[in-house]
Structure 1
Amino acid sequence: MPTIPGNEPHRHRRMAESFGVDAERYDRTRPRYPDALVDRVASRADTGRPPAVLDVGCGTGIAARQFRAAGCTVLGVEPDERMADFARRLGVPAEVATFEAWDPAGREFDVVAAGQSWHWVDPAAGAAKAARVLRPGGSLVAFWNVPEPPPAVAEAFAEAYESVAPDAPIDVRATPNRGGDGYWSLLTKAADGIRGTGAFGEPEQWHFDWQATYTRDAWLDQLPTQGALTRLPPDDVARVLDAVGAAVDAMGGSFPMRYATVALTAERLAGGTGR
Structure 2
Amino acid sequence: MERKNTFNEIAEEYDKYRPSYPEQLFTDIFEFAAIKEGDSILEIGCGTGQATKGFVELGFDNLTCIELGQNLAEFTREKFRNNPNVNIINSPFETWKSEKSSFDLAISGTAFHFIQPQEDGYRKVFDLLSDEGSIAFFWTVHVPSYDDVSNRIRESYKRYAPQLDDSKNPTIEKIIDERSVLTLKDGLFKELEVKQYNCNHSYTANEYISLLNTNSRHRLIPEDVRFELFGEIIAAIEEHGGTLIKPQVVVLFHAKKNIK
Deviation, 1:128, is 0.8
The separation in 2 between residues aligned to 1:184 and 1:97, in whole angstroms, is 33
Distance 2:217 2:65 in 1: 24
* TM-score, normalised by the number of residues in structure 1: 0.82
Contact 1:109 1:138 in 2 (8 A): yes
Aligned identity (percent) is 25
Match of 1:103 among 87, 97, 108: 97
Counterpart of 2:20 in structure 1 is 32
Residues 266 and 180 of structure 1, relative CA distance in 2, 3 Å threshold:
farther
Q: CA deviation at 1:185?
A: 4.5
Partner of 2:220: 231
2:137 paired with 1:142: yes
The answer for the alignment partner of 1:75 in structure 2 is 64
Offset of residue 48 of structure 1: 4.1
- Residue by residue over 1:151-194, the C-alpha shift from the partner in whole angstroms, topping out at 9 and shown as x without a partner, is 3555455544454456xxxx312x3xx47516654544433333
The answer to whether the Cα contact below 8 Å between 1:55 and 1:77 also exists between their aligned partners in 2 is yes
2:181 maps to 1:192: yes
- Give the alignment partner of residue 63 of structure 1, picking from 15, 36, 51: 51
Written as runs of structure 1 = structure 2, the 5 A alignment for 1:43-192 is 43-72=31-60, 73-91=62-80, 92-121=86-115, 122-148=117-143, 150-151=145-146, 152-161=148-157, 163-164=159-160, 171-173=163-165, 175=166, 178=167, 181=170, 184-192=173-181
RMSD: 2.4
Task: Give the total of aligned pairs.
Answer: 252
Instruction: Measure, in 2, the Cα distance between the counterparts of 1:108 and 1:101.
Output: 17
Q: Between Structure 1 and Structure 2, which shows a larger proportion of helix residues?
A: 2
* Counterpart check, 1:245 vs 2:237: no
Cα deviation, residue 141, structure 1: 1.4
Runs of 5+ consecutive residues of structure 1 not aligned to the other structure? 1-12
Indicate conservation of the 8 Å contact 2:32/2:254, yes or no. no
> For the residues of structure 1 that align with 2:179 and 2:56, how far apart are their CA atoms?
26
How far the C-alpha of 1:103 sits from its partner, in A, is: 1.2
CA distance in 2, matches of 1:249, 1:95: 42
2:203 to 214, 219, 235: 214
In the superposition, relative to structure 1, how do residues 226 and 184 fare at CA in structure 2: closer, same or farther (>3 Å)? Answer: farther
Give the structure 2 partner of residue 4 of structure 1.
none
Question: Bigger shift: 127-136 or 88-97?
Answer: 88-97
What do residues 26-72 of structure 1 show as CA deviations (whole Å, max 9, x unaligned)? 01000110101011123344354333221111111110111111111
Mark the runs of 5 or more structure 2 residues left unpaired by the alignment: 81-85
- Structure 1 CA distance for aligned equivalents of residues 102 and 155 of structure 2: 47
